[in-house]
Amino acid sequence: MRWVGIDEAGYGPNLGPLVMSAVIAEGPDERPPDVWVDLAATVARAGGDPDRLWIDDSKALLSNGRGRDRLEAACLALLAGTGQVVPSSLSSLLASLGAGSLEDVELIPWLDSPDWPLPCPETVARLTRALAENAFAGAPWRCVAVRSVVVGPRRFNAGLAESGSKAKVHFAAFARLLTEVWESTIEGQTTSVRGDKHGGRHFYLEPLMDVFPDIWIDRGPEGPELSRYTLRSGGRRLELSLVPRADAADGLVALASIVSKTVREYWMDVFNAHWAARIPGIRPTAGYPNDSLRFRKEVEPAYRARGLDPNLWWRLK
């Protein structure tokens, strides 16, 4: 049996990428992973035992500028739990997530060095402890892979121009991950996928049929509390459930939220460092509305002097 949690970070900002991630787990029986129960000796929800690895909606870990060490530690310890070497640079992190290169995620214009080292200094002690405790071991299931899609500002704007809809850009990223999960499903295997509702949408059959035109799709309940679909072909089966606040209720979705947010934070680190090196005293931005307008106003003389097209770094929606 396989279980997959999918979640995103960066749907609302004007600056930085949209990042969507999938965390894939496998186990011998049909009982879904319960991250907080099955790994109770080493993990806790946000606000729990301070000595454990916190797993929760990324917004609960990173708030008001605090919690970056917990966010990064959870992300990198998860990758170690899948059997990968802990990434020591941003390029190696992207490679481990199947997210492409620094160029693919549109960071080359903002990177003033060959790469960006990981993790942040404040994360090292917490990550070292999580690795020593083998935080993701001991459950009857194990995380086997993590995958991410990073949609940089230029590609985000191109998607808007092509589709006319921010929601469709979001769904396209989701579809890329879901397609990868489906294509890796083997005969006789059932895969259960859970994720958050997409902007409050309740009806997904038509866009799913566009992505999987040759796959039979059974429509289940569709409403505010649950939208469910089953993809079937031969001996392959994928059950998709989209529910509100899945990142708070499902540990795998919470982990996907953490990975997505971590990647986005690193992207913004590079972007902010680029401008800080050129405009002394400029405050970094997370890229969300209001503060993003402040940041754009402050960098406007510099980007105009360099002839930088805002379409390459400012998301239109």
Helix (H, G, I), strand (E, B) or coil at 26: strand
Average pLDDT over residues 232-238: 94
**Can you give the pLDDT at residue 29?**
87
Cβ atoms of 215 and 231 within 8 Å: the answer is: yes
The secondary structure of 233-285 as a DSSP string is: ETTEEEEEEEETTHHHH-HHHHHHHHHHHHHHHHHHHHHHHHHHTTSTTPPP-
pLDDT digits (tens, 9 = 90+) for 3-37: 999 999 999 999 999 999 999 999 998 899 999 99
Q: At which residue do the structure tokens 């960071």 appear?
A: 107
Residues 77-131: tens digit of each pLDDT: 999 999 999 999 999 999 999 999 999 999 999 999 999 999 999 999 999 999 9
**Residue 87 confidence (pLDDT):** 97
pTM over 0.85: yes
- DSSP conformational letter for 3: E
User: Which pLDDT belongs to residue 63?
Assistant: 87
Average pLDDT, the chain: 96
Biggest CA-to-CA distance, the chain: 61
| pLDDT tens-digit readout, 200-218 | 899 999 999 999 999 999 9
Burial environment of residue 150 by CB neighbours within 10 A (0 to 12, 13 to 18, 19 or more): buried
> In terms of Cα–Cα distance, which of 275, 267, 260 is closest to 152?
267
Model confidence over 128-163: pLDDT tens digits?
999 999 999 989 999 999 999 999 999 999 999 999
Directed axis angle between helix 124-132 and helix 68-81, to 10°? 30
In this prediction, residue 316 carries a pLDDT of 92
CA distance 177 to 147: 7
List the beta strands (DSSP E) in the chain: 2-9, 18-26, 43-44, 53-54, 142-151, 190-196, 216-222, 227-233, 236-243
What would the mean pLDDT of 290-306 be, rounded to a whole number? 94
Distance between CA atoms of residues 225 and 280, nearest Å: 48
> Which residue is it, tokens 């160029």?
103
Provide the 8-state DSSP code for 181: H
User: Per the CATH hierarchy, to which homologous superfamily does domain 2-269 belong?
Assistant: Ribonuclease H-like superfamily/Ribonuclease H (3.30.420.10)
Confidence of residue 194 (pLDDT cuts 50, 70, 90): very high
